[in-house]
Amino acid sequence: MNLHQVIKKLEVLGNPEKIEIKEKKFGITAKNSLGVYHNDLKALAREIGQDNKLALELYDTGIYEARILCSKIYDSSCISEKQMDKWAVDFENWEICDSFCMGFFAKSNYALSKASEWSEADSEFVKRAGFVIMAAYGFVDKKSNNEVFEKFFQPIEREADDDRIYVKKAINWALRNIGKRNVDLQRRAMEVANRILITDSKPAKWIAKNALSELKKPDVNILDYPRYLYRPMANKALQRTSR
């Protein structure tokens, strides 16, 4: 499928009424939008398949939905750090931010470095991007131990007083998702939330209360992803002391 064919499909799917619905119901405002729902874009992405060349062409059209589609057909292993930075500054709402970060940037070779760097950004949606990567990374990386994810707690605590709605929601999301990775991180995430809770910051208190409410639920789904790093020397020492 070529660029012309894809744009034609997007125009057929587009509906000006959807632009208004997305703005009123979901707070999504975007320039140069055709009015296409996200589920329709995902279906179209499956039809197209992976195509890096087409993805770049779609992004360069400047059409909002074409850019979201780009994030769904580009191979994450091919993305460069420079390209990630270039695209991140174009994020204009939570939908395009999350589309790029969850299934695309979080799978890239630069996910961890960008999560850390962007968590200190001035731009609301670049900063959100950093925390969305943290929220998504726990389900992308099924092999890393707790040490990788415990590093996320420092920026979560540091930035918890940001009162911008799409930043604080992403910080809360990251804290909850890290806590759901395994029982150790659940305990650590609740410890972090309790520290945040005692601050004088209103957004920080909201983040902490919401995370604690979910992580303490009796039926919360805590996964069983890797917890500890295998250290042969430590294991030998343990064997000696148990004799």
Give the C-alpha separation, 201 to 171, whole Å. 14
CA 123 to the chain's CA centroid: 16
Predicted TM-score (pTM) of this structure? 0.90
Strands (E), 81-239: none
- List all residues 6 or more positions away from 15 whose beta carbon is below 8 Å from its beta carbon: 35, 36
Provide the CATH number for the domain formed by 94-229 in this structure. Answer: 1.25.10.90
Domain ranges for the chain, please list them.
Answer: 1-74, 94-229
Contact call for residues 124 and 164 (beta carbons, < 8 A): yes
Q: What's the token pair of residue 171?
A: 């910080």
Given a cut of 70, the residues of the chain with pLDDT beneath it are 229-243
Question: Tens of pLDDT along 4-49?
Answer: 999 999 999 999 999 999 999 999 999 999 999 999 999 999 999 9
Q: What's the token pair of residue 206?
A: 């909201």
pLDDT of residue 233: 39
Contact call for residues 215 and 186 (beta carbons, < 8 A): yes
User: Which stretch of DSSP H or E encloses residue 164?
Assistant: none
